[in-house]
Amino acid sequence: MKIVYFDVESYEEEFLKQANDGKYNYLLLNEPLNDLAPVDLKYSDADVISVFTTSRVNKKVLEQFKNLKLIALRSVGFNHIDLDYCREHNISVVNSPNYGNITVAEFALALLLDVCRKVTVSYSEYKNSRVSPANLIGTELCGKTVGIVGLGAIGSAFAKIAHGLSMNIIAFDKYEKDEMKDKYGVRYVDFDTLLKESDFISIHAPLTKDNYHMFDEKSFDKMKETAILVNTGRGELIDTQALFNALVNKKIAGAGLDVLENEETMTDFDYMFGINRLDKFTLEQTIINSRLFQLDNVIITPHTAFNSKEAIHRILNTTMSNIEVFLSGGKQNNVI
């Protein structure tokens, strides 16, 4: 049984070595898995692969693995995997749920506070000895209305934190939870109402075929001019061009983003030094992403909301458990 782990960071190596030594034939690779180069023959015979969100596992990649039986995701999200191909070729996909509920919720709050209280802007001005008090006037969270898009495990954790800060909480989700209503005062509303009433919006929805670009030009037109948008979900939930226009034209006041559309092109050197590899749409998204960094009312972080010691430990434990259960003939945390 051969297992290949992609996207392996240095702080994961010791754990994975201890978990695999003497049990499996395995490889630990730092680079992500994508279609920029052919799959190396030394691991194309893998029975199991494990990837993080920085890998893009499409049909072109998958068809090079002839023995593949399982993809073990070190993430909750799975939009970077070609699930249709996996279904057609009987490849199981399992994920790592619930590892970052508190971690991501806390980071979303950090982004919101940063934008509201201009923490990064204050630091930058102070560091450069150009402090302008008028430019650093912030906005309190207490008593304001926060709209939560997606009240799953992470969204619920964020709601609990918001309740502790005496915020009014409204939510848009397919499923209503009595506990969230009774204990935290959550009021469920439709999407349009959430857009119109929210002082702040925090996105915690997974990416599906139905909610791609749910925040588009029409959505931003319905939001308050003082509204701040936070996204720790998936970049593709927001139409980046529409967001850029809304920020520049002051249709909304600011944004805190841990995820971007086509974010891999911002950090993957294969893309950065091989721009000819980008199709027209991806190139346009990369340019818009770069322009977002130039705006003073935007904070952008490199998809790091998950990144706490506690969450990493849970991810790795769940991943190994998923693999061991599968190889024993069972399945847990299955996507397909």
Neighbours of 55 (CB within 10 A): 23
Cα–Cα distance measured from residue 271 to residue 278, given in angstroms and rounded to the nearest whole number: 7
Instruction: Provide the percentage of residues in the chain whose pLDDT is more than 90.
Output: 89
Question: Is there a shared CATH topology between the 2-99+309-327 domain and the 101-300 domain?
Answer: yes
- pLDDT at residue 7 in the model: 96
Smallest CA-to-CA distance from 150 within 89, 111, 105 is with 105
pLDDT bucket at 190, cuts 50 / 70 / 90 = very high
Which class would CATH give 2-99+309-327? alpha beta
* Residues that are catalytic: 234, 263, 303
Name the residue type at position 84: D
- pLDDT at residue 277 in the model: 66
User: pTM of the prediction?
Assistant: 0.88
Per CATH, which fold does 101-300 belong to? Rossmann fold (3.40.50)
- Residue 84 gets which letter from DSSP? H
Cα–Cα distance measured from residue 158 to residue 182, given in angstroms and rounded to the nearest whole number: 16
Sheet order of strands, 25-28 included = 25-28, 2-5, 48-51, 70-73, 92-94
**pLDDT tens digits, one per residue of 26-47:** 999 999 999 888 999 999 999 9
Give domain limits for the chain. 2-99+309-327, 101-300
